[in-house]
Every structure is written in structure tokens, then in C-alpha cells.
Amino acid sequence: MWLIFALLTTFSWAFADLFYKRGAVSTDKSSHIKTVIMVGFVMGIHAFGHMILNRISFSLIYLVIYFPVSFMYILSMAIGYFGLRYIELSISSPVQNSSGAITSILIFVFFTHTLSVLEIGAIVIITSGIVVLAVLEKRDSGQSLIREKIDNKYHLSFAAIVFPILYCVIDGLGTFADAIYLDELSLIGENEALLAYEFTFLICAVIAFVYVKVKKEPFNLFKEKDRGVAAIFETIGQFFYVFAMARNAIIVAPLIASYSVFSVLLSRVFLKEKLAHRQYQVIAGVLTGIALLALSEALEY
């Protein structure tokens, strides 16, 4: 079941990535803050609904217990939102989601795991594909993505590249901490982790909303179509994510990170960002890795 949850998360976050990019406004200095507001409000609504409909008893202590994980996730996401103003999705997403490799390595180093040959092969293929895709995009950036004179929406510079790298490191550490909380040591239940994260994001959104209003920045919740849709997909993905991580974190982390591959495909279809044949080859390789994971899970039953 963990594989289904992981794939649902992967596809949800791929679409979220697409709408994040559509909603990013390079001329708006508060664009990333407004995205945080939309995601936080949507997550907050979902958290209250999930808690009430499923009659979940939630203590505020869980906010404190899970805060280190929530903090790293929210910080990495805010950095990612900021970076989307300056760099194409086809570059930022693969670089950012190399974090899955960091998480798997940390879990393998600090905890004991027995993996089948198929699982090891799948992890290597998926992780390698994500990294190779990022390298290909970075190598080609000097030729096709320097937009200072061509397109004001993109400004590829040292700072622009730093954002997805920071996201990668912080998110990788956050996912590793999540694996400890949910899978390795089971410090918190799935529902408690989900609610703690979403309520923490809601608190951040409220603070950000007050900030935007104090600064008198133009912002209307009901007119933020792209950010709103991105927030919905983000929340859907988060819902399935905690349940997947609680089952098999060392495999789930790199698998979910492969949503960057689908983000690249979506960016080609909807944002008209160009892809080379070698990129399609890498994408096919990652899909092969996912198929191997599916085969591995089927053989277990």
C-alpha cells in the first residue's frame, strides 16, 4: 500500500510544482510569501476537516514534538518558492529533489535495513536519474537558460542556483528527521504528524498574511487561482506522504523525489520549457525504476 501512497504523492506534487511556477511572479517581491499564505490556509482547512471528520483527538504538544520536521519542511518550501521567481522549473525541480538521495543515504548509514536486489536497483536508478537530470539541466543552463536579456521572468545567477541547492539540503534533512519520527523510531503517529505539520503551516500563513497586509501589498485570497490550485495539490500530496513515509521511508524518499521528473514533463507540456532527447531518456530510466519498485512490492505478496 505504501507504493500507492507514494505514487499519489508523487503525481500530486508534480502538479503542485507546475502551478507554483505559474503563480510565481518575478516582479513581485512578496510572491513567495503569498504562496506560503495560500498553502498554509489550504492545509489549515484540510487539517480542521480531517480532524473533525475522523474524530481525531489532537493535543498541541504534537506541534512542539514535530516542530523540527515542520520547520525544515516549511523553510525549504519557502526557499523553493522564492527561487521559482528566478529559475526555470525544469532546472529547479530536479536539483531540489535530489534531496531524496540525501535522505536514503542518511537512513542507510544510521539505521539497519535489508533491501532486495530489485529495491536496491530501483533506488539506484531513480536517484541516479534525478541527479543526472539535474546535472544535464545545469550544464545546458549557460546556453539556453540565461534569460537576463531574453526574458525578464528568469534570471539565472549564482543566487538563483543557490535556492534549489538550499532546498535540497534542508528538505533532505527534514525528510530524514521525518523518517525517524514516523518509521525508524515511531515517535509520532501519521495523523498526529499530518495535523502538526498542517497546523504549523497555518500559523506561518497567518503571520505571513499579517505581514503582507501591514506592508499594504495587494493580495486577494479569492483571486489567487494558480497558487490556490498548487496549494490543493500540495495538501493532497502531504496527506498521502505521511502514510507512505511511515511504512518504508528508505524507499519512499527517493521515489517521491522523482516527482521532479514528472514536473519536468509537465513544464514541457504546459510551460513550453524545452527538453532534449537525453532528458527524455533519463525520464524513461526513472519510470523503469518505479516499475521495479512496483514489481518488488508485488513479489512480497
Residues 202-212: pLDDT tens digits? 999 999 999 99
Q: What percent of the chain has pLDDT over 70?
A: 87
Residue 129: per-residue pLDDT:
86
For residues 38 and 98, the model is more confident at: 38
Instruction: Check if the beta carbon of residue 42 is closer than 8 Å to that of residue 232.
Output: yes
Q: pLDDT by residue (tens digit) across 237-262?
A: 999 999 999 988 999 998 998 887 88
Please give the residue range of the domain that contains residue 16.
2-300
Residue 147: per-residue pLDDT:
43
Q: pLDDT by residue (tens digit) across 46-95?
A: 999 999 999 999 999 999 999 999 999 999 999 888 877 666 655 666 66
How many domains does the chain divide into?
Answer: 1
Residue 236: per-residue pLDDT:
98
- Which residue is it, cell 497555518? 202
What is the pTM (predicted TM-score) of this model? 0.86
